[in-house]
Amino acid sequence: MSNMKPNRILVTSALPYINGVKHMGNLAGSMLPADVYSRAMRLMGHEVLYICATDEHGTPAELAAAEAGLSVSDYCDKMHNAQKAAGADFKLSYDYFGRSSSDATHRLTQDFALDLETNGFIEERTSQQVYSIADGRYLPDRYVEGTCPNCDFEAARGDQCDNCGKLLDPIDLINPYSAVSGSHDVEIRETNHLYLKQSEMSGRLRDWVESHRADWPALTTSIAMKWLDEGLRDRAITRDLTWGVPVLGADGNVREGFEGKVFYVWFDAPIAYIGATQDWAKATGGDWEAYWRTDKGANDTRYVQFMGKDNVAFHTLSFPTTILGSAQPWKLVDELKAFNWVTWYGGKFSTSQKRGVFMDQAIDIAPSDYWRWHLMANAPESSDAAFTWEDFQANINSDLANVLGNFVNRITSYCVKKFVGAVPDGGIITDAEKWIEAELDMRLPQLVKYYEAREFRKAMAETRAIWAAGNEYLTQAAPWTHYKTDVDQAAMGVRVGLNLVALFGVLAQPIIPDAAKKILDAMNIPEENRTWTFRGAGACLNALPIGLNISAPPVLFTKIETDDIEAWTERFGGEG
């Protein structure tokens, strides 16, 4: 039923930063929709490669490691595994979950830099940075604090004063000190860095973004155009750190004057999409070039990126500058889906302030299916979306427990009771069957369209409407009434009902894979028949062979009680 030819699709979700298990906002805005999309496309028969990785470089990783009393490398190993486990708990179907610290990404990053410099897009410049003698390191803007030169606020950060809001340069702070150690023993040093000359790419980037106005969400193009309209600035792509990708010269040795410097995370992080694909190829024997090299088949690949809105500039401007500037046949993104934030009782989720619910805690209080359904049904697509426990409870109880779970339960248990748990034969087509067939003929293509367009809220609403139509069908067909006088006609209602259960299980797979599997297993549907190859509603309603043994699965979705959400509100400070 899909109107697309089978395709090769590369899916990436923005790389989660290494310094902690991600919160539900991160999950909802990149990894989860990428996973739901990947699953749906696989079911439609496309060849999908879903790549993600931990983003491991940068100052916060070093500081978090120090706080944890571990070496940066050990810390990253530990947190990578924790994030990998959290992803598995939420059933994220990565084909490969890599690391930006891998050898492949290091090498690619260095190669990109050399190509860019060859083509004139990289230039070495001198800048002034605050150096903390006590900490033995240069301090990024935000880690320098001091008195605001504008309003005399004493705890202004190096990039912006929280009191008067003025944007600052850390070297202008009065009485600066290190936010890391509190030491005032800091000085301004001159240091050399490589700059990516994005300004010279503006024209090509603008044309490219313009060409996607029709097929990218407004959120994506508007953010990109905003930067272009303000004028792209050249950005330093190296930092005075030790943890990261070393800067090499053309001879393969550390570039002169760049000892103790590495590439900035936002230069190498997107390159890790490629590096992780190479690592996937190494692990599986797959062909990474078919996804990334336009001279090796990647022109036939559709590349779809998922990310929160904070990442749009990097994915529409910085990374494309890297790709285009290299003058090598690298694949550019085709579809870019950006999300707003899930907000938490009036504010943002915050990793540093531990506000909100984190993936490891969430899985502790409710099954992954519950979160997956709720976060997708309320995806922050057009604006920020508020998370509340009350909405969570209402969504799960109504949509999953009452509409889907109860439907599966009522018809399967009735079949077991009255028709010995086998798909029964008999009965004639009535208005009820005609109605549900027409309903499905209208809704199934619509659902496919929503998935292809990555309209998640609408896809979820359509899925729910299809489940609800099953309940309406049963009300119309009323097999329990026919059973008293005409067992054959009751059989018709039960048989169509069971076929609907199977169909609902098939449709549920991208969103709630655990429950979907329970349903399909109970209906004895073989793996190969679980794909999305709809041949019209008529076929869907006659898919199960007569006599097939089915069972009534145990309760699929336990309801969330008000006591539960009160306890969660207490535990997570929901009213905060």
Binding to RNA, residues 122-181 (CB under 7 A): 127, 140-143, 158-160, 165, 167
Task: Return the residues of window 344-383 that contact RNA according to CB under 7 A.
Answer: 346-348, 378, 381-383
| Least Cβ distance, residue 157 to RNA (angstroms) | 9
Count interface residues toward RNA (CB under 7 A). 86
| Helix (H/G/I), strand (E/B), else coil: 146 | strand
Rounded distance between C-alpha atoms, residue 371 and residue 359, angstroms? 10
- Our finding on whether 569 is near RNA (CB under 7 A) is no
Contacting RNA within 413-432 (CB under 7 A):
413-414, 417
Pick the piece of the chain touching RNA (CB under 7 A) from 118-126, 251-259, 339-347, 420-428.
Answer: 339-347
Distance, in Å, from the CA atom of 510 to the CA atom of 93, rounded to the nearest integer, reads: 10
Selected binder of RNA within 17, 344, 371, 451 (CB under 7 A): 17
The interface with RNA within residues 41-60 (CB under 7 A) comprises: 55, 58-60
Count the neighbouring beta carbons within 10 Å of the beta carbon of residue 286: 16
Looking only at the bridges linking them, the beta strands covering 96-99 and 174-178 are unpaired
Q: Are 304 and 335 in contact (CB under 8 A)?
A: yes
Contact 257, 240 (CB under 8 A): no
Alpha-carbon span 529 to 297, nearest angstrom: 30
Residue among 89, 287, 334, 391 that touches RNA (CB under 7 A) = 391
Least distance to RNA, CB of residue 413, Å: 5
**What mask of x and - would describe binding to RNA in positions 64 to 103, judged by CB under 7 A?**
----------------------------------------
Stretches 117-125, 208-216, 405-413, 542-550: which one binds RNA (CB under 7 A)? 405-413
Per DSSP, the residues of 383-411 read S-EEE-HHHHHHHIIIIIIIIIIHHHHHH
As measured in angstroms, the least distance from the Cβ of 284 to RNA is 27
Q: Which ranges in 293-398 belong to alpha helices (H)?
A: 312-313, 319-326, 359-365, 368-377, 389-395
Nearer to RNA, 88 or 465 (CB): 465
Cβ nearer to RNA, comparing 154 with 472: 472
Q: Which stretch, 2-10, 91-99, 104-112, 465-473, contacts RNA (CB under 7 A)?
A: 465-473
What residues numbered 290-309 form the site for RNA, per CB under 7 A?
309
Minimum gap (Å) between residue 378 Cβ and RNA: 5
DSSP state, 189? Answer: E
Report how far residue 294's alpha carbon sits from residue 291's, in angstroms, rounded to the nearest whole number. 8
> Which residues are 192's β-sheet partners?
126
Nearer residue to RNA within complex by CB, 127 or 183: 127
Does position 563 interact with RNA (CB under 7 A)? The reply is no
Considering only residues 215 through 244, tell me which ones interact with RNA, judged by CB under 7 A.
218-219, 222-223, 226-227, 230-233, 235-236, 239
**Interface with RNA by CB under 7 A: which range of 115-123, 458-466, 499-507, 560-568?**
458-466
Minimum distance from CB of 4 to RNA (Å)? Answer: 21
Structure tokens at 511: 């969103």
CB-wise, 19 or 301, nearer to RNA? Answer: 19
Q: How far is the CB of 300 from RNA (least distance, A)?
A: 30
Among 406, 430, 524, 569, binds RNA (CB under 7 A): 406
Would you count residue 13 as binding RNA (CB under 7 A)?
no
Q: Which is nearer to RNA, 103 or 229 (CB)?
A: 229
Closest CB to RNA among residues 90, 483: 483
CB of 219 to RNA, least distance (A): 6
Among the residues of 419-455, which ranges form H helices? 431-452
Beta-carbon contacts of 406 under 8 Å, excluding residues fewer than 6 positions away, are 471
The answer to whether residue 265 forms part of the interface with RNA (CB under 7 A) is: yes
- How far is Cα 181 from Cα 76, in angstroms, rounded to an integer? 22
Q: Is 26 in the site for RNA (CB under 7 A)?
A: no
Alpha-carbon Rg for the chain in angstroms: 27
Out of 402, 524, 529, 569, point to the residue binding RNA (CB under 7 A): 402
Cα separations in angstroms, 143 against 59, 139, 178, 460? 9, 6, 6, 43
- Residue 208 as a binder of RNA (CB under 7 A): the answer is no
Closer by beta carbon to RNA, 218 or else 283: 218
The answer to whether 508 touches 451, Cβ cutoff 8 Å, is no
Place of tokens 């039960």: 494
Structure-token match 């499905």, residue found: 440
Q: How far is the CB of 341 from RNA (least distance, A)?
A: 6
CA angle, residues 371, 374, 379, in degrees to nearest 5? 115
The count of residues in the chain is: 576
* Residue 559 within binding range of RNA, rule CB under 7 A: yes
Binder to RNA among 1, 478, 487, 548 (CB under 7 A)? 478
**CB of 325 within 8 A of CB of 332?**
no
* Chain position carrying tokens 């390191």: 137
Query: SS3 helix, strand, coil % of the chain, rounded to 5?
Result: 50, 15, 35
